[in-house]
Amino acid sequence: MKKIFTLLTVLVIGLQLQAKEGMWLPHLIAQLNYSDMQRMGLQISAEEIYAVNKSSLKDAVVHFNGGCTGELISSQGLLLTNHHCGYSQIQSHSTKENNYLEDGFWAASRSEELPNSGLYAAIIREIKDVSNEILEGSTPEMSEEERDSIIKVNAQNLLGEAQAKNPGLEFELKDFFFGNQFLLISKVKYTDVRLVGAPPSSIGKYGKDTDNWVWPRHTGDFSMFRVYANADNQPAEYSETNVPYKPAQHLKINIAGVKEGDFTMVYGFPGSTNQYLPASEVANTVNEYNPFRIRIRDQIINILDAKMRVDEDARLQYASKFARSSNSWKRWKGEILGIKRTNALEVLRQEEKLFKQMCEAIPELKDDKDLVAKMDALYAKRIPLTKERFAYIEVGYFGIEAFRHVLNYSNLIKHAEAEDEEALKTEADRLAKRMEGFLKDYDYDLDKQVAINILPIYLETIKTNPGEEVRELQEEGSDNWPEEIAEMYEDAPFFKEDFAEELKKNPAKMAKKIAESDLYELSLEMYSHYFEVINAGLKPINLEIDALQARYVKALQRAFPKKSFYPDANSTLRVAYGQVKSYEARDAVKYEAQTYLKGVMEKYVPGDYEFDLPQKLIDLYEAKDYGPYGENGKMPVCFVATNHTTGGNSGSPVLNARGELIGLNFDRAWDGVMSDMYFDPSICRNVMVDLRYVLFIIDKLGGASYLVEEMDLVRHHPDETVTKKVESEEKSSVKTKAADKTKAEPVMEVQYREN
Ligand code: ARG
Ligand code: ASP
């Protein structure tokens, strides 16, 4: 008994230190987090954050095109998100004459706002626990396959019913904690979303890849859109008659500034995390998978970089591809460092030991005591096949551009083989057009060189039932590969001058040529191998792993009932909360929490590809012309806080204790990017643009003060409101929560929730 007590004490103390970790489900905040949030300074109610039958902050948060977050900041549907989230829309409206990417863009009136086909903004209506309905009919004794198919049927029925009852909404069923919990999420999807403004890239992307994942940061990573609706305020496809959407709630913007220790929360759509991995799989990630993927991307990035430095066309064609490729590459490197520096593996192993001891001490958990060992074994078993999987993803799918592109030709070949003239012609025309688009941003020599350098890594890695083409190459030996690969490119029909013309004129003949080309054959074989061998081979192991992970999370919850658990990110709406906080990254390196325009100027390199600046910004700096947005003669730019965020949180609103907008999330700081697997509050920081910098750029640099006029600005720091409130309350001697907060309060126990 004493043993359990000591273990619990250790754990509870540990948990208090870690209190800020987590991406929480908004509908459970009242139950799980509210007292903790209050203790940290939150001044609004849980219902103001999330409610279903009345408006709440959630109505101002949008899923921006499925991959980013955005927020509504005026009663007229004005939407704020990151520059890197709106990048492709800004790019698509840019021409040489009107280069919005380079010069920025500000719609001077509603009629100048630019429509974007395919872009949407979704607002969550309701999050509902449907675990019982989904799991109905399944039993713990069932095989994973059986359980899976029951869940599928239940899910289909439930989604069908919900959809039939609410034709105006979209429904999504998501599983949490590896299938322990299921939530039905309804949303309204607005499809007329127009570009309103963007700063020049020299501000919105300032520091580019050099500064990416880096603190101190000086990027004004924002862009603005407007959501439009029909006359009934309902979603509608683009139409001139559409009107600005009137949100149920929009965010107020607080320009009083932030200080160390201030409460912050991030409301958004984090994409995916792996918080419940055993130490062994975290070790596999940083020792095996990350280095392997980094090795492949090293090649790609070096080749791209060398060419982009000397070739202006390549620089334009590959800017966005380079950024995409280097973004994860850099993060993987950071993860390796972060896991090492925080001694994460040792900490996790200790926690696993503790878990095992708890299982041994608690009778109902005695069968779970070897769960971690079982997971370790399975994760170890799948290493070789998982490496093959990454080899395909990195080389065949994302690395070699031609390989992925030629996969589009499989239907053409099918139609040719079926001698379906009409379908063949239509498909040939479509592909000819598509090829034009592809070639616009394609550099043949560069891609060939990438292939020569990374295909060998694939060929060396694939051991499980390689197809004929791969086997032949493997047998020939690596000395021949450079020449073979070069020949494969030279012989391929796709890159010949008259390819598109020929394809349209002679689709049957071209289909045959394509089908017989080594490049197409190899790419297709690798693609099929990925599904039929690699994924098929991984499926049974992964099913077993998932089942164990599900059991593990459930057992953890029983073993540590005082701790509240949050599910891994899965692109659903979440709230993370923390504090504005400086940090000590490593020995003798301490970072402040806020950056200023002075720092932007310090990094300035005239004419540089990454660190150039618009003259107007320099002028404003020199004149210290910051309008109402400056602070003691300085212009704040970015700040960091301890919120737990990940990819997908970009563009998320960062709110203060009163739920007012103070920052726009866009990144994490280098030393803590391992937070997807292991969050350490001492060094994990999310990076956001200070809203004052956003407004300064719109108003002073962009001259678009009419946009600021649309917004609701608040000029008091939340602490001031508390002090004022407390003063007036003292007079009337009425006690409120805010006044209570100033007293030392015992740590509230968070409820244990059973799934
Ligand atoms: N690291 C941030 C994120 O993961 C920003 C990425 C955009 N910037 C870049 N240089 N790639 O999305
Ligand atoms: N930059 C990321 C995003 O685009 C955010 C992060 O990974 O912290 O979502």
Domain locations in the chain as residue ranges? 1-120+192-269+568-755, 124-190, 279-550
Q: Looking at residue 728, what is its pLDDT?
A: 54
Ligand that lies nearest to the alpha carbon of residue 328, given by its number in the listed order: 1
pLDDT at 157 over 50: yes
CA–CA distance, 435 with 594 (Å, rounded to integer): 47
Catalytic-role residue among 27, 63, 84, 717 = 84
Interval 609-655: pLDDT, tens: 899 999 999 999 999 999 999 999 999 999 999 999 999 999 999 99
The rounded Å distance from CA 664 to ligand 2 centre is: 11
The rounded Å distance from CA 78 to ligand 1 centre is: 23
pTM over 0.85: yes
Protein residue with least CA distance to atom 7, ligand 1: 84
Ligand that lies nearest to the alpha carbon of residue 270, given by its number in the listed order: 2
Whether 662 and 655 have beta carbons less than 8 Å apart is answered as yes
Q: Cα 241 from chain centroid?
A: 34
pLDDT at 747 over 50: no
Nearest ligand 2 atom to alpha carbon 650: 9
- The model's confidence at residue 480, banded by pLDDT at 50, 70 and 90, is very high
| Token duo for residue 573 | 């709406």
Portion of the chain with pLDDT greater than 70, in percent: 93
Residue 650 annotated to the active site: yes
Ligand 2 and 646: CB distance under 6 A:
yes
Ligand 2 and 269: CB distance under 6 A:
no
Interval 587-610: pLDDT, tens: 999 999 999 999 999 999 999 989
Who contacts 708 (Cβ-Cβ below 8 Å, separation ≥6)? 695, 698, 699
Strands (E), 61-167: 61-64, 68-72, 78-81, 105-106, 121-129
Strands (E), 90-233: 105-106, 121-129, 170-176, 181-190, 192-198, 223-229
Who contacts 64 (Cβ-Cβ below 8 Å, separation ≥6)? 70, 79, 81, 85, 121, 651
Ligand that lies nearest to the alpha carbon of residue 87, given by its number in the listed order: 1
Nearest ligand 2 atom to alpha carbon 271: 9
Protein residue with least CA distance to atom 2, ligand 2: 647
Q: Looking at residue 725, what is its pLDDT?
A: 56
| Token duo for residue 712 | 């609701």
Residue 243 β-bridge partners: 229
Q: Quick one: CATH architecture of 1-120+192-269+568-755?
A: Beta Barrel (2.40)
Q: Looking at residue 684, what is its pLDDT?
A: 97
CA–CA distance, 235 with 229 (Å, rounded to integer): 5
pLDDT at 74 over 90: yes
Q: Looking at residue 312, what is its pLDDT?
A: 85
The rounded Å distance from CA 212 to ligand 1 centre is: 6
Burial grade of 437 (CB within 10 A; 0-12, 13-18, 19 or more) = exposed
Sign of CA dihedral 640, 643, 647, 648: negative
Catalytic-role residue among 650, 671, 680, 699 = 650
AA letter at 80: L
More confident of the two residues 724 and 103: 103
Interval 297-333: pLDDT, tens: 999 999 999 999 899 889 888 988 999 999 999 999 9
Protein residue with least CA distance to atom 11, ligand 1: 323
The rounded Å distance from CA 584 to ligand 2 centre is: 22
Ligand 2 and 647: CB distance under 6 A:
yes
Residue 84 annotated to the active site: yes
CA–CA distance, 484 with 522 (Å, rounded to integer): 12
pLDDT at 240 over 80: yes
Average pLDDT over residues 449-460: 98
Interval 373-411: pLDDT, tens: 999 999 999 999 999 999 999 999 999 999 999 999 999
CA–CA distance, 365 with 208 (Å, rounded to integer): 50
Q: Looking at residue 737, what is its pLDDT?
A: 36
- The model's confidence at residue 744, banded by pLDDT at 50, 70 and 90, is very low
Protein residue with least CA distance to atom 4, ligand 2: 650
> What is residue 569's DSSP assignment?
P
Ligand 1 first shell, C-beta below 6 A: 84, 208-209, 212-213, 323, 327, 647, 650, 667
